[in-house]
């Protein structure tokens, strides 16, 4: 007759063997089921590939049919992307029906209905950016190639997607801006118009004639080929500076890109400096006048002289 310890050990071994057999049978069932479903998975992948090719073909057909006829090209992009996404979604649904037994679109819709609140909170920002992207593509406040300023970022628009817009900054960095920020915040489009006004500040001496300086500056602007001839430049006095009369020089350029802006400002500054130097008109730098009659200034000067005296005596002794 077996002892209780031997009986307990035998029961433990029997339970272990039973669990092991269940794991093995379950694994074999899963493996056999997976092997049986491989043709269906392959068929599902083929269906996805076919619908992916159909989405690409759809975009090309839309571009060929509407690209040259529609004035707003962004509308064509909206139609391409929404239509392509819809085709891919239909292909995904069909592939799921093929790959998963018992799957139906009704079950997916029911599952989405149950978790609609959670999905709504989780994808709120995504849906907001999608809607903003569609509205931006339809309203077309800017296009690819335009130079824009949004918040702390400024650069050239590289791509306008439904979720975000990509710009390339002037120092060669890529910035991805959510479309909701572009749609709800103030936006500056530097290249919205062909002409763009630029300005620089110029200071002349108080002893110089303002009208003479203005005439010289206007003649200098005529020599700058980057200055547009379709709009009249101007020179106006804007204030009394600490060391100069402040003048503001304004002119227009034909292409408002950042490269043209920088080049034009450089050219205008060079020509204005040459013209004022040739005319003998002073461009003063800041000047500070010390009033020695002020007691506080006299005390400071006396203190400096006392501090410098020992050094002077040592130099004299040498």
- Nearest one of 185, 186, 189, 220 to 202, comparing CA atoms: 220
- Nearest one of 184, 182, 188 to 165, comparing CA atoms: 182
What does the pLDDT read at residue 199? 95
Structure-token match 């999608």, residue found: 130
What does the pLDDT read at residue 168? 94
Residue 67 DSSP symbol: T
What does the pLDDT read at residue 123? 64
125: Cβ contacts below 8 Å, ≥ 6 apart: 178, 180
Structure-token match 């918040």, residue found: 151
Residue-wise pLDDT tens for the chain (318 aa)?
A: 455 555 555 556 565 556 666 666 677 666 666 677 677 788 888 888 888 998 888 888 877 777 666 566 666 777 777 788 888 888 888 888 777 767 666 666 555 554 555 556 656 777 788 788 878 877 888 888 899 999 899 999 998 887 889 999 999 999 999 998 998 888 999 988 888 999 999 999 999 999 999 999 999 999 999 999 888 999 999 999 888 999 999 999 988 788 889 999 999 999 999 999 999 999 888 766 666 666 666 677 667 776 665 555 555 555
In the Cβ-directed half-sphere of 169, how many Cα atoms lie within 13 Å? 12
What does the pLDDT read at residue 281? 92
What does the pLDDT read at residue 220? 95
Q: Are 191 and 217 in contact (CB under 8 A)?
A: no
Structure tokens at 46: 């083929």
What does the pLDDT read at residue 113? 55
- Nearest one of 194, 141, 149 to 170, comparing CA atoms: 149
What does the pLDDT read at residue 71? 62
**Distance, CA of 33 to CA of 12 (rounded, Å):** 31
pTM, 2 dp? 0.60
- Angle 253-142-191 (CA atoms, 0-180°, nearest 5)? 5
Burial of 117 (0-12, 13-18, 19+ CB in 10 A): exposed
């Amino acid at each position: 007759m077996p002892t209780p310890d031997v009986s307990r050990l035998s029961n433990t071994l029997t339970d272990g063997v039973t669990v092991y057999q269940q794991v093995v049978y379950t694994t074999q069932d899963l493996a056999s089921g997976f092997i049986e479903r491989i043709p269906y998975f392959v068929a599902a992948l083929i269906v996805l590939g076919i619908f992916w090719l159909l989405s690409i073909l759809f975009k090309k057909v839309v571009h060929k049919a509407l690209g040259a006829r529609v004035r707003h090209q962004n509308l064509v992009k909206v139609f391409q992307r929404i239509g392509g996404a819809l085709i891919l979604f239909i292909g995904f649904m069909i592939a799921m029906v093929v790959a998963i037994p018992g799957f139906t679109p009704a079950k997916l819709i029911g599952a989405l209905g149950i978790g609609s609140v959670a999905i709504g909170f989780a994808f709120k920002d995504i849906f907001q950016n999608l809607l903003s992207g569609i509205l931006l593509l339809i309203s077309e406040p800017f296009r690819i190639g335009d130079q824009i300023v949004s918040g702390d970022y400024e650069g050239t628009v590289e791509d306008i997607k439904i979720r975000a817009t990509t710009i390339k900054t002037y120092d060669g960095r890529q910035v991805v801006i959510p479309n909701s920020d572009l749609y709800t915040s103030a936006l500056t489009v530097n290249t919205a118009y062909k002409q763009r006004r630029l300005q620089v500040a110029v200071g002349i001496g108080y002893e110089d004639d303002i009208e003479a300086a203005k005439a010289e500056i206007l003649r200098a602007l005529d020599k700058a080929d980057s200055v547009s001839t379709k709009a009249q430049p101007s020179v106006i006095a804007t204030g009394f500076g600490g060391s100069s009369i402040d003048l503001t020089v304004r002119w227009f350029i034909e292409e408002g890109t950042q490269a043209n802006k920088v080049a034009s400002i450089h050219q205008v500054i060079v020509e204005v400096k040459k013209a004022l130097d040739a005319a003998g008109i002073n461009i003063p730098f800041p000047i500070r006048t010390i009033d020695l009659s002020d007691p506080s200034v006299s005390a400071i000067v006396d203190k400096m002289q006392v501090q410098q005296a020992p050094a002077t005596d040592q130099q004299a002794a040498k």
